[in-house]
Structure 1
Amino acid sequence: MTPITEVEGRRLTLSNLEKVIHPATGTTKGEILHYYATAADAILPHVRDRAVSFLRYPDGPDGQLFFTKNPPPGAPSWVRTASVPRSEDKNARQVVVDDLPSLVWAANLVVEFHVPQWRADAPAVADRMVFDLDPGSPATIAECCTVALWLRERLAADGLHAYAKTSGAKGMHILVPLEPTPSSKVSEYAKRLAVEGEAALPRLILHRMARSLRPGKVFVDHSQNAAAKTTAAPYTLRARTEPTVSTPLTWDEVEEGARAGTAADLVFRLGDIPPRLERHGDLLSPLTDPDQAGPLP
């Protein structure tokens, strides 16, 4: 029997709650839904009013994974969609996760949540900037921490405030709240900083994606600021062997990670998030506060 539950007045059909999604930890779909429901107050501000893309992994990280921007078949009529540009002459509709029922409905599909740097009512006008720090083995998240600290200082020199989170995979994301700015301008600035970083720390930072250059360095991926690109949302679970979460960090944790070197342990799973929220609140709340947004130089 498929359970039906009511969430804030919306009836939802939930399926396969006992199904193990992350075999390494025995994490079930029901536990994933519980995580999203309990962390919703932190998650929703970062996805609300944004066109969401989904990486679906209904049979776990070792099963079929597929990325979709289109509303999934069978989406309830009350799940909001927005018209967003897909190309110069074509618009399409995408899901917007505005509330708890929509979040639980999407989580029931077993997805990673990915969002652009702009809001659905202002496509290609970014209100935040992102740098995706991707370490090439044998570099680890420790090297990402060192790069993150350089970026924080460089951004501060331009009057911008930076915030850090784990990617939930092997790297980190640095996020910056911005006054609304065309995505093309943000992309240009982000690339310029990545190039500066490579010049300042040539043994550590790369601004180019070439695989042959990657070993032992951190690729500062500035490309996710392009209007068509998306980034894993704060607090989303990732389709990894264990139920890791893209988790906001304190700068003290980043500094400690840089000092710890290869021993840096900045991996957080779904069970770690409620106590972190109780201790820190949402460390990324400034991203959703217009008063914290700075002008792009």
Structure 2
Amino acid sequence: MIAKRAEHPYRSGRDKSWLKIKCGHEQEFIIVGWSPSTRSRPFSSLLLAVRDKKGLRYAGRVGTGFSNDELDRLSAMFKKLGRKTAPVKGEIPASIARKAHWLRPELVVQIGFAGFTKDGLVRHARYLGLREDKEAAAVTREKATPVEEIENMPVDKQNSPVVAGVPISHPDRVLFPEQGITKIELARYLEKAAEMMMPEIEDRLVSLVRCPEGRQKKCFFQRHAGAGLGDGFQEFEVQGSKEREKYLYITDVKGLVSAAQMGVLEFHIWGSRVDDIERPDRLVFDLDPDPSVSFDEVKKAAGETRDVLDALGLQSFPMLTGGKGIHVIAPLVRRHEWPTVKAFAAAVASRMAEQEPERYVAKMSKAARKGRIFIDYLRNDRTSTAIAPYSPRARAGAPIAWPLSWAELAKAKAANEMTVKTAFSRRRASPWKGYGKLRQSLKISALRALDVER
């Protein structure tokens, strides 16, 4: 699409009064293999697939958009997922199949691309990130809704209920069918949660899980500006591996409620804020259990993680994720940049896994997690996110991510026990007493103890 400033004349040549705007697509794909690199990279490209009625179908490849850290991270994951044969049905170009290294179809990635070829392959694809919140079984090819259909959708703004200054269209649309929770109920929950939620989400880049028709239907992941964004969202430009990209963030309760109007069911936040994007102010350990591990064991793991961090000079706070696990979070003074914080988190996770290998694992491979708890330190990477405190989850039961004190955690029965309906049934003081006033950072002695270079 070509755009011109209305007041400027038509002139030949290049200037800033004319813009060429690329209209692209985004969706999830499953990694089914990789192609080797002839240069010094761990791999040249990822081989992608989507699911249709006949099974997994080859959908092309992506070779751009990777940082050096991401190349190393993905390559390490691939070592545990190798297989001898292609997991996809249908024709794969011989030149690609001949050199391909095939993988079990477990990892999901977000891909930006110009469109599909007539053969159903992605054009001009670029890697946007790993989708750790998405199961591979749920990935299918998405179909765009025609603009005319969206424009013709009836919206009665005049008679729409208003929450925090935001008109809520289709207020009776059911977003969580099991509980019958509607869009207006979600908007009111976010308005009520704002006092506790905003200090944790404000001015952080945020990725959204949008389910406009409800959690039981099609959901998609959004972290860049696009159609249907409410007035409460701001944009922030970040340098990617090859180009600058605009991400989203929220500054007030209107942004939260605008998200409900858009059908947002989850908020995933960066560990840094927009005024110092390269220095995180929080450290997150996501304790993710194998289904066979009891919740009591996860609570015990959270306590042990707390004790390890305490020995390294860091006070931490627990949060039920609304899924199966617990986050242990330590606030930080913004002193160290992402690589140091990530290396520290990786060293803590690895030490715990080495000391008790029958209970813990620090590798992402699902096969390695059997009967164990995965200490996910990867949330502490520059473009990685973690579920925001008080965020709803797009899961059965409408659970939320619920911060607790350590005393409250001891009494918790499940990671998803607090829901949109039950939260804030009575007024609540912050369970993270002193969190915002703590002045702590990664001490030189702690970094040395873990052999982390600064």
Residue 215 of structure 1 deviates from its aligned partner by 1.9
2:287 to 129, 133, 136: 133
1:92 matches 2:245: yes
1:233, distance to aligned residue in structure 2 (A)? 0.3
Whichever residue aligns with residue 421 of structure 2, its letter is G
Deviation at 1:193, TM superposition (A): 0.6
1:159 has 2:308 as partner: no
- Out of 357, 367, 371, the residue aligned to residue 216 of structure 1 is 371
Segments of structure 2 that go 5 or more residues without pairing to the other structure are 1-155, 444-454
Match of 1:265 in 2: 414
Distance in 2, Cα, partners of 1:63 & 1:91? 33
1:35-64 CA distances to partner (integer Å, 9 max, x unpaired)?
Answer: 001111011111111111101112222211
| Inter-partner Cα distance in structure 1 for 2:291 and 2:173 | 33
* Cα shift at 1:107: 1.7
**Aligned partner (choices 419, 430, 453) of residue 282 of structure 1:** 430
Inter-CA distance 76–238: structure 2 relative to 1 (3 Å threshold): closer
Residue 142 (structure 1) aligns with:
296
Q: Residue 51 of structure 1 contacts residue 120 of structure 1 at CA under 8 Å; is this kept in 2?
A: yes
Q: Tell me how far apart the structure 2 counterparts of residues 90 and 25 of structure 1 sit (CA, whole Å).
A: 43
Q: Which residue number in structure 2 is paired with residue 294 of structure 1?
A: 440
In the TM superposition, residue 88 of structure 1 has moved relative to its aligned partner by 3.0
TM superposition shift of 1:201 = 2.3
User: Could you say if the C-alpha distance between residues 119 and 207 of structure 1 is closer, same or farther in structure 2, counting changes exceeding 3 Å?
Assistant: same
Shift of 1:91: 1.9
1:217 to 1:78, Cα distance in 2 relative to 1, 3 A? closer
Deviates more, 1:89-98 or 1:24-33: 89-98
Displacement of 1:76: 4.5
What's 1:62 paired with?
Answer: 216
Distance in 2, matches of 1:191 and 1:79, equals 33
Distance 2:232 2:392 in 1: 24
Deviations along 1:206-239, one digit per CA (max 9) or x if unpaired, are 1111111212211000001000100110000000
CA distance in 1, matches of 2:268, 2:341: 19
CA distance in 1, matches of 2:329, 2:204: 16
CA distance in 2, matches of 1:25, 1:147: 31
Q: Output the amino acid matched with 2:394.
A: A
Q: Secondary structure at the match of 2:274?
A: coil
Q: Name the count of aligned residue pairs.
A: 284
1:203 maps to which residue?
358
Q: Which amino acid aligns with 1:265?
A: A
TM superposition shift of 1:285: 6.0
Most deviating of 149-158 and 133-142: 133-142
Q: TM-score scaled to structure 2, two decimals?
A: 0.59
3-state DSSP class of the match of 1:92?
A: strand
Q: Specify every segment of 5 or more residues in structure 1 that has no aligned partner in the other structure, as ranges.
A: 258-263
Q: Would you say the 8 A contact 1:49–1:96 is kept in 2? A: yes
Higher helix fraction: Structure 1 or Structure 2? 1
Corresponding residue to 2:259 among 106, 111, 114 = 106
Structure 1 residue corresponding to 2:278, chosen from 124, 140, 149: 124
Change (3 A) 1:215 1:235: same
1:172 aligns with 2:322: no
1:26 corresponds in structure 2 to: 180
The aligned amino acid for 2:280 is: A
1:192 aligns with 2:347: yes
Contact 1:17–1:29 (CA under 8 A) maintained in structure 2:
yes
RMSD, aligned CA = 1.9
Report Cα offsets for 1:7-35 as digits up to 9, x if no partner. Answer: 66x5x331111111111111111111110
The question of whether the paired residues in 1 share the 8 Å contact of 2:236 and 2:248 is answered with yes
Q: What fraction of aligned residue pairs are identical, expressed as a percent?
A: 28
The one-letter code sitting in structure 1 at the alignment partner of 2:404 is: L
> Does the aligned pair in 1 maintain the 2:232–2:252 contact within 8 Å?
no
- For the residues of structure 2 that align with 1:118 and 1:285, how far apart are their CA atoms? 21
Q: Equivalences for 1:225-264 in 2 at 5 Å?
A: 225-257=380-412, 264=413
Partner AA of 1:273 in structure 2: A
Letter in 1 for 2:363: R
In the aligned structure 2, how far is the partner of 1:57 from the partner of 1:141? Answer: 28
Q: Matched residues in 1 for 2:398 and 2:178: separation?
A: 9
2:199 aligned residue (45, 50, 61): 45
**Once the two structures are superposed, what CA deviation does each residue of 1:154-196 show, in whole Å capped at 9, x if it has no partner?**
1001110111111111111111101112111111010111111
For the 8 Å contact 1:149–1:255, the answer to whether it is kept is: no
Structure 1 residues 107 and 209: CA distance shift in structure 2, 3 A? same
Equivalent position SS for 2:273:
coil
Q: Equivalent residue of 1:80, what SS?
A: strand
1:286 Cα deviation after fit: 4.1
